[in-house]
Each structure stands twice: as C-alpha cells, then as structure tokens.
C-alpha cells in the first residue's frame, strides 16, 4: 500500500506499507478534507512473498463535478470541489483521548465501504458517507487539529 498525503499542494507524507491484510483492507482511493488530501493505492496478492513490488503514487485527479462541504476551522460552510474518483461526501467525528475533532470533505466510494475502525489506543472514529452533492450538511464544527490528525487518521482507518 502507498499512502500519500498533501497539505495544499505540498506533499507531507509518502509512505509504503507492506503487510498481510484482509481483502477489505485492500483499498485504493482518496480522502479529501480541503486543507489536506490523502491518496491510497493498494495492490493485493494471495501467494507467499508476492508483495515485493513498490506501489506507485495514485494520480491526483481533476475536478469531477461533485461538491461537498468542508471545514476551515469552525466554519463548515465551505464548498469543496471533489477530484478524480471522489464520488461521496464524508463527515467524520474522531475522539482522540476525549477531544472531539470533526472533519468533512470528499471521499472515494471505496473509502466509505472499507474497514472504518481505527485500531489505535485512545482513538474512536465515526464516519458517515452520502452520495448527493452537498449532502454532508453544513453544521459548524471544530477542526483545529485537522492538519495533524488527517494523515494519521487515514493510515489508521484504511490500513
């Protein structure tokens, strides 16, 4: 699996992970939260030691016409233009040791259907996806830790 995260146009994470995984953990797609975007590209195989190849970075994508709400600080009225195969709107609430962080944005359908349980101590995650434009509701939420939490959350959720 290749995990690549961007803050704006700057690449902040580029990590390759090789391990045994259940088929549901073999995901390819993206999670776009406006100020950060994480791309996952997986190649799964079923024979011994078959994961010797390096997985390439996913393409960044072009706008696809889908729009979802995203948050900038506590303002969740911002509209985000989804890219590539981001065909769902997503709303997440993460509880990190008692502090709630909420995020909204665009996601690939595979991200919404994959294994959504974080497996890190002290972190719980609630994820909701929908498919209509701007269906992830415009309520005001606090997301001050977004830039730091998004890449970690992405690895925990989709790995």
Spatial contact of 38 and 7, defined as CB atoms under 8 Å apart: no
Question: Structurally, how many domains does the chain consist of?
Answer: 1
Q: How far is CA 75 from CA 89, 103, 115, in A?
A: 17, 11, 29
Spatial contact of 90 and 114, defined as CB atoms under 8 Å apart: no
The range of the structural domain enclosing residue 53 comes to 2-158
Spatial contact of 84 and 63, defined as CB atoms under 8 Å apart: no
Q: Kindly tell me if the per-residue pLDDT of 88 is higher than 80.
A: yes
pLDDT tens digits for range 123-149: 677 788 999 999 998 554 433 334 444
DSSP state of 62: -
Spatial contact of 33 and 103, defined as CB atoms under 8 Å apart: yes
| pTM of the predicted model as reported, rounded to 2 decimal places | 0.77
Higher pLDDT among residues 110 and 89, named by residue? 89
For residue 70, which of 111, 33, 125, 31 has the smallest C-alpha distance? 33
pLDDT tens digits for range 48-85: 999 888 888 877 689 999 999 998 877 888 999 999 99
- CATH code (residue 151): 2.10.60.10
49 φψ region: left (φ > 0), alpha (ψ -120 to 50), beta (else) = left
Q: List all residues 6 or more positions away from 124 whose beta carbon is below 8 Å from its beta carbon.
A: 94, 95, 118
């Amino acid at each position: 699996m290749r995990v690549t995260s961007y803050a704006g146009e700057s690449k902040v994470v580029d990590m390759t992970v090789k391990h045994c995984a259940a088929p549901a953990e073999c995901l390819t797609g993206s999670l776009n939260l406006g100020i950060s975007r994480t791309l996952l590209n997986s190649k799964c195989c079923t024979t011994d030691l078959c994961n010797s190849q390096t997985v390439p970075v996913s393409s960044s994508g072009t706008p696809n016409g889908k729009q979802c709400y995203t948050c900038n600080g506590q303002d969740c009225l911002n509209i985000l233009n989804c890219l590539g195969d981001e065909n769902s709107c997503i709303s997440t609430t993460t509880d990190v040791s008692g502090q709630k962080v909420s995020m909204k944005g665009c996601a690939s359908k595979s991200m919404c259907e994959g294994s959504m349980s974080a497996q890190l101590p002290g972190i719980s995650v609630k994820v909701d996806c929908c498919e209509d434009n701007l269906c992830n509701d415009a309520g005001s939420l606090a997301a001050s830790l977004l830039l730091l939490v998004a890449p970690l959350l992405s690895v925990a959720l989709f790995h």
